Structure 1
């Protein structure tokens, strides 16, 4: 499972809630881990992908701005300004550690019973 979260506790953002994701909520790490525990699942691995997602947002913003005139033609200048600000603000939030993307590897039963001992298998040593 992988999703956007905060290590400091759950939060909302009034601007994002109004213009981008109405009703959005970013859960805190403790909230998610509590739900995992309540579901009788075990955590085999947790990987923080914050820096990767920061880079992804920076690329999305570049691609967006490469086609900005097309977007403005379809959606208007106001939308384009808000979307650009949203992408940049999110990238900055990931960079500062305010929000994170965390990937959880969960198991039902003994944690990691058949998993490799390390993440070495993910590296391309060839």
Structure 2
């Protein structure tokens, strides 16, 4: 019985452990719904207010439509799961859209929120989308 107790305890510990959920693919997250920018920072300066009212719809064909309520802009997006990065390119003369149009690295991916960063650029940047 003394030898059986440790084995039973180990079985209980390993049996109760759950495998963490794998991060869902970025495409399945982004193409499900409409998104807004809930955070945009450069060198720890918060510029999120510049994106108030902007809405982003990411399409399965790797296009993105962006609207601020009066104007609509088109662009493209792409992901590289092996490199864990995301690229967005929006055709616009709007400074706000130019600021976010480049390569981003995945930091956090959930079904309601995606957070990207780029600490290889100067200035360092963070970009977060939240589902509406």
TM-score past 0.5 threshold: no
Bigger Cα Rg = 2
TM-score (norm 1): 0.24
TM-score (norm 2): 0.24
- Richer in helix (by share): 1
